[in-house]
Structure 1
Amino acid sequence: MGQPVESASPLRGGPTVQRILLGTRLRQLREARGINAEEAGYEIRGSHSKISRMELGRLSFKERDVADLLTLYGVTDESERKSLLAIARQSNKPGWWHQYADILPPGLDSYIGLEEAASLIRRFEASHIPDLLQTPDYARAVETAKDPDADPNNIERQVALKLRRQELLREQGGPTLWFVLDEAVIRRPLGGEKTMHAQLEHLIELSRLPNVQLQVIPFSVPHPKQVGSFTYLRFANPHLSDLVHLERLTSSAFIDRPDDVEAYKAEIDTLSVQALRAEDTRHFLSEVAAHLRS
């Protein structure tokens, strides 16, 4: 039947992770009873697609729905029912990022929760310095370039959101972070030379953190695959499967099919082998920074 969710205590990743864990447990219970999604949907006055979204953690939970499903699935143990209903309540509480809901691109709220819950974050970046590594001035330049007509107050809130997310880098028990950057990311002077110089110095400093690995793929190394930027997430919690996150112009998407996730993992493994080693990357960044300063 699978291992049950052990408790409803607070988890890294907040409500996002609570929803995924509860959805996983409900799927295990449903499958163990041989009940299909259409039958389960009927029980809660919904459809099979609603059950699918609930089981994937992509929908908020109503306690009444969870209670009805537990009854349908034959869960009579009072302690398990109380635990799962408590998770349902917690999963509907807003995460800290809710205060930025009006400026969050679609899907980024779920991503931030998963980012916080991850034990390993690997990112290949082809266009600009990743959010978790940006200085405030560089972040400001990125957001301004995205929308030159944006409200300055919203730009500052975007910067504040990124800085809040960056607390992961120095958080005790936080994830391991491994970034592979195309050289174009380093050469594109967003915000001007002064801002870019400070950004490169910041990268060098961050690359010395014990949980941060930073590599650059120089122009001299051909990597012919047309691979855009992506993030690979791995979790210590056994109920959370590896994921890939893709950012698009107006939305974002999660890839969770095991074969597809494995293909992206293999790709970032290849890119990591092609890239400069960490020490050589620091030397490379120092040379580019010195050129900007001269």
Structure 2
Amino acid sequence: MHSLSCRLVWDGFRRRGEAPLPTGGRPTVRSRRLGAALRQYRQAAKLDQPQAAEIIASSQARISRIESGQATPRVIEVRLLLDAYGITDADVRAKLEELAKHSKNRGWWLEHAEHLRPDYVDHIALEDDATYIRQWQPALVPGLLQTPSYARAVITEGPDYIAPDEISRLVKVREGRQAKIEEGAATYAAILWEVVVAQPLVSVDIHREQLTAILEAAKRKNVTVQVLPFGAGALAVTTAGFSSFSFDSEPTVDAVAIENLRGTSVLEAPEDLAAYGNMFDVLRSAALAPEASMKLIRDILRSIKED
């Protein structure tokens, strides 16, 4: 089950009787996931949108908006559609009904949303909904592992000028993102290129604090951190950083986010998801085992203290 593109923009049109969109006028990740699942099951049942509309006594336009995440179906509508589509799996039905109940929820980051790029809000929403999060980072410590001092330093040194009060807000948002991992609400795996832990981009004190924080985070049962050694060569320099997300009890990749200079792109095509899922497995196989990775970080930390 794949989420629809996180780039959809609400057209401002809402028919009478439809559930309203969330505050901010943009579909949520939950509504897009629900819509994508209903579209997938409709197509598998070989029904078109007009036929689906008849099932819930509505219009083709409404079905289109539901399937794009721009309208929120009622639970009873979800049940009727799943009945017609032949979906009898109790777990699948319960999951989609939960999405229908909570699809308008915007999450803890709502209070910051007006100050954040829309694509960053979408990234946080994907992260917050995920049951499995995997990240490959060849340049920086991932945001989910950053200390406040490290986050402030790399944000400050970024290519764009950001006012001090906005930097504080962004640091607070990164701390909010980390709560899910700290609470054990998702299984998190990170692979870092050795340059990230061996060559500090920040002050020695901040780097030392950051390495210590990684060691502490890796002690959690739901967290795995591995280091890809320098010897991996081309594998590291030809693979840009990315995050993959799974939303079910199994770690199947449902969405991939790639950060670039101007924002975050979200991939959803099956071939893209398969490619990045495979790439993470390749990187994980080439990386040091978790225990060896932690030993490497401890050795680096010890050498920093001695210097």
TM-score norm. by structure 1 comes to 0.75
Does the 8 Å CA contact 2:192/2:227 hold for their aligned counterparts?
yes
Tell me if 1:136 matches 2:158. no
Does the 8 Å CA contact 1:63/1:85 hold for their aligned counterparts?
no
What's the counterpart of residue 288 of structure 1?
Answer: 300
Does the 8 Å CA contact 2:72/2:103 hold for their aligned counterparts?
no
User: What per-residue deviation string (whole Å, max 9, x for no partner) do you get for residues 162-189 of structure 1?
Assistant: 11111112214x1111111011212342
What's the counterpart of residue 206 of structure 2?
Answer: 195
1:42-57 maps to which residues of 2 (within 5 A)? 43=59, 51=64, 54-57=66-69
Tell me if 1:227 matches 2:263. no
Does the 8 Å CA contact 2:242/2:256 hold for their aligned counterparts?
yes
What's the counterpart of residue 261 of structure 1?
Answer: 273
1:29-40 maps to which residues of 2 (within 5 A)? 29=42, 32=45, 34-36=47-49
Does the 8 Å CA contact 1:22/1:87 hold for their aligned counterparts?
no
TM-score norm. by structure 2 comes to 0.72
Distance change >3 Å, CA 154–CA 221, structure 1 → 2: same
What's the counterpart of residue 33 of structure 2?
Answer: 20
**Structure 1 SS opposite 2:157:** helix
Q: Distance in 2 between matches of 1:226 and 1:18?
A: 35
CA RMSD of aligned residues (A): 3.5
1:37-76 maps to which residues of 2 (within 5 A)? 43=59, 51=64, 54-57=66-69, 59=70, 61=71
**Structure 1 SS opposite 2:231:** coil
Gaps of 5+ in 2: 1-26, 86-95
Selected match of 1:154 from 162, 166, 171: 166
What's the counterpart of residue 270 of structure 1?
Answer: 282
Tell me if 1:185 matches 2:230. no
Q: Distance in 2 between matches of 1:134 and 1:86?
A: 32
What one-letter code is carried by the residue in structure 2 that aligns with 1:34? Answer: L
Distance change >3 Å, CA 291–CA 24, structure 1 → 2: same
Selected match of 1:169 from 150, 171, 181: 181
Distance change >3 Å, CA 35–CA 211, structure 1 → 2: same
User: What per-residue deviation string (whole Å, max 9, x for no partner) do you get for residues 31-74 of structure 1?
Assistant: 6473258x97x94668xxx93x75253x3x2679x98xx89x98
- Greater shift, 146-155 or 116-125, is seen at 146-155
Identity across the alignment (%): 28
Does the 8 Å CA contact 1:131/1:139 hold for their aligned counterparts?
yes
Q: Distance in 2 between matches of 1:277 and 1:218?
A: 11
- Give the superposition deviation at 1:90: 4.3
What one-letter code is carried by the residue in structure 2 that aligns with 1:105? Answer: R
The number of residues matched between the two structures is 261
1:58-137 maps to which residues of 2 (within 5 A)? 59=70, 61=71, 90-137=102-149
What one-letter code is carried by the residue in structure 2 that aligns with 1:109? Answer: V
